[in-house]
Amino acid sequence: MTSVAGVDSSTQSCKVIIRDLESGAIVRSGRAPHPDGTEVDPEAWWQALRAAIADAGGLGDVAAISIAGQQHGMVALDADGRVIRPALLWNDTRSAQAAADLVDEVGAAEFARRTGTVPVASFTLTKLRWLADAEPENAARVVAIALPHDWLTWRLRGYGPVGESPLGPVLSELTTDRSDASGTSYFDPTTGSYDRNLLARALRLPDVPVPNEGIQLPRVLDPWAAQTVDAEMPSFGTTTGAGGGLVVGAGAGDNAAAALGLGAATGDVVVSIGTSGTVFAVTDRPVRDTAGTVAGFADAAGGFLPLVATLNAARTLVSIAAVLGTDHDELGRLALTAEPGAGGLVLTPYFEGERTPNLPDATASLTGMTLASTTRANLARAAIEGMLCGLADGLDALTRCGVEARRILLIGGAAQNAAVATIAAQVFDLPVVVPEPGEYVAAGAAVQAAWALTGERPAWQIGIASRPASDHRPIIREQYSSHRA
């Protein structure tokens, strides 16, 4: 039996799944937690990856692997291949002013034309401007810039800091793919090339006239590209078994990998509720939204991935469950005892500021409180409704950009909650389908690993767990938009 592995190095944890190449069946899996916080030392991701691989029983019998991961995080390297400072993650909003400055300097329409996106604090480019302004001594040491999945792929292939890796700091061996590169705001997903003038502008460097000169950026590989681990490289022993001959795919941004794992097709809109909330679809044409609501990313199969992301998703439910002194299951049960609209109680869940809409300094608010509406059940329902309404606004923005939407595929940690699925069928005016519980980002990375190994994209099927009855209740979104306004 030939096996392939897929990794999701996500915000809160690292997950590894190992699939049978023939059938796609999951053979085994493992996971390890990531530290909290919006800035993280990438070494913690590397240790978590090793622990998750060990938890999955190692890679001894695995022929190929691909790593997908949280997007946008800034991993800045010096000439010795060392990480210069902890990585700033996608949900770190300290670069909000830098983002506004860059948009003022370049123009929103020009950004959309050149990169498919109008940057907000999440995007790598804005974090580099923040670095140049807030930590110029660190900015001056930057020799290479990578994203979380690029850096982990490099480490897995044996490269890394001087003295701490078998093959050393060969920065020209950093690689990435179109999907993750398109989240930097210095990459054009249509031409597949970096925009080095934007990068130079962010770092306050002189314009770089010669393409590919200056700071080392990861080579952008095809979705089916196969890299190998050098045959001479000692394996990481029984911990990873990533020895010579292992095929390593290009990897991908997490949402693009999830689209691969789901086999998302035209008309499918994926709503993922993890640390981030995301709404996205695969398209064969690029989207350039000058309003900046929709990010015109690339997908992991040669097409495009228009996407809307929110900062406040599953952790909204964690927070309200804690206030209610309960757990996920009970929060869901309570929510389903309340009427749609939660008796007028509306939670606008901007606990961590917000990315869409672009309100980095916003805070959450609870409105519509009366003696009658302020019950535990209404609060539980308002938390789920508020979280979903932000994503429904995202779906509207996608369809305004011409994305075809025929059904919702609901995934991510919070999709496992039956109340979230039931209420999604009341918030979205489209059929909602809940795939079998699974790690679809890691599953998609394994699809990519199989593609790299055989040269053919596998056509593994997914199972469906439920199709909650369509029960559209416009009151929920009407209330939410009037309170938010």
Ligand X SMILES: Nc1ncnc2c1ncn2[C@@H]1O[C@H](COP(=O)(O)OP(=O)(O)O)[C@@H](O)[C@H]1O
Ligand Y SMILES: O=C(CO)[C@@H](O)[C@H](O)COP(=O)(O)O
Binding site per annotation, positions: 71-72
Instruction: Map the footprint of ligand X across residues 389-418, applying CB under 6 A.
Output: 412-414, 416-417
| Known binding residues for substrate | 71-72
Binding piece for ligand X, criterion CB under 6 A, among 11-19, 77-85, 301-309, 459-467: 11-19
Residues 127 and 133: their CA atoms lie apart, in Å, by 10
Shorter beta-carbon distance to ligand Y: residue 276 or 358: 276
Out of 278, 312, 416, 422, the residue judged to bind ligand Y by CB under 6 A: 278
| DSSP-based three-state secondary structure for 316 | helix
User: Contacting ligand Y (CB under 6 A), which of 11, 115, 117, 184?
Assistant: 11
| Residue 315 vs 381, nearer CB to ligand X | 315
Task: Pick the catalytic residue from 254, 268, 289, 393.
Answer: 254
User: Least distance (Å) from ligand Y to the CB of residue 183?
Assistant: 6
Residue range at the interface with ligand Y (CB under 6 A); choices 64-72, 376-384, 423-431, 445-453: 64-72
- Out of 100, 318, 324, 465, point to the residue binding ligand X (CB under 6 A): 318
Contact with ligand Y (CB under 6 A): which of 117, 179, 255, 417? 255
Sign of CA dihedral 10, 394, 271, 287: negative
Residue 13 interacting entry, from ligand X, ligand Y, none, C-beta within 5 to 8 Å by type: ligand X
The answer to whether 465 contacts ligand X (rule: CB under 6 A) is no
Q: Residue 278 binds which one of ligand X, ligand Y, none, with CB within 5 to 8 A depending on kind?
A: ligand Y
- Cβ distance to ligand Y smaller for residue 41 or 429: 41
Query: In terms of DSSP bridges, do strands 175-177 and 219-221 run parallel, antiparallel, or are they unpaired?
Result: parallel
Cβ contacts of residue 46 below 8 Å, gap of 6+?
152, 155
Q: Which of 250, 311, 314, 462 binds ligand X (CB under 6 A)?
A: 314
Minimum CB separation from ligand Y for residue 10, in Å? 4
Q: Can residue 276 be called a binding residue for ligand Y (CB under 6 A)?
A: yes
Rounded distance between C-alpha atoms, residue 147 and residue 275, angstroms = 18
DSSP string covering 241-283: ---TT-EE---EEHHHHHHHHHT--TEEEEEEESSSEEEE--B
Interface residue with ligand Y among 10, 182, 283, 316 (CB under 6 A) is 10
- Do the beta carbons of residue 234 and residue 166 sit within 8 Å? yes
Comparison of 251 and 413: residue with beta carbon closer to ligand X: 413
CB 159 within 8 A of CB 140: no
> Is the CB of 209 or the CB of 325 nearer to ligand X?
325
Contact between 122 and ligand Y per CB under 6 A? yes
12 binds ligand X (CB under 6 A): yes
Looking at the Cβ atoms of 32 and 132, the one nearer to ligand X is 32
Binding positions for ligand X, 320-359, rule CB under 6 A: 328
Q: Strand 26-33 and strand 13-20: pairing? A: antiparallel
* Burial category of 265 from C-beta neighbours within 10 Å (exposed 0-12, middle 13-18, buried 19 and up): exposed
Per-residue b or e along 35-68, where b marks 16 or more CB atoms closer than 10 Å to that residue's CB:
eeebebebebbbebbbbbbbbbbbbeebbbbbbb
Per-residue x/- marks for ligand X, 415-444, CB under 6 A?
A: -xx---------------------------
Question: Got the DSSP string for 107-126?
Answer: -HHHHHHHHS----TTSHHH
Rounded CA-CA distance 230/242 in Å is 10
Q: What is the 3-state secondary structure (H, E, C) of 441-459?
A: HHHHHHHHHHHHHHCCCCC
| Separation between Cα atoms, residue 353 and residue 74, nearest integer Å | 20
- Is 185 an interacting residue with respect to ligand Y (CB under 6 A)? no
Minimal distance in Å, beta carbon 416 to ligand X?
4
80 is catalytic: no
> How many other CB atoms sit within 10 Å of the CB of residue 474?
12
Provide the sign of the torsion angle of the four alpha carbons 246, 249, 255, 260, taken in this order.
negative
Closest distance between ligand Y and the C-beta of residue 90, in Å?
4
Q: Which two tokens stand for residue 169?
A: 């700091």
The angle, 0 to 180 degrees and rounded to 10, between the axes of the packed helices 148-156 and 42-55 is 60
Structure tokens at 395: 């779906």
Query: What token pair was written down for 274?
Result: 């993890």
Which one of 13, 228, 374, 375 is in contact with ligand X (CB under 6 A)?
13
Nearer to ligand X, 11 or 378 (CB): 11
Distance CA 156, CA 478 (A): 49
Q: Please pick, from the candidates 176, 182, 275, 312, the single residue that binds ligand X as defined by CB under 6 A.
A: 275
Q: Which is nearer to ligand X, 222 or 330 (CB)?
A: 330
Which residues sit at the interface with ligand X, rule CB under 6 A? 10-13, 274-275, 314-315, 317-318, 328, 412-414, 416-417
Binding site for ligand Y (CB under 6 A): 10-11, 70-72, 90, 122, 183, 254-255, 274-276, 278, 307, 309
Instruction: Name the residues annotated as catalytic.
Output: 254
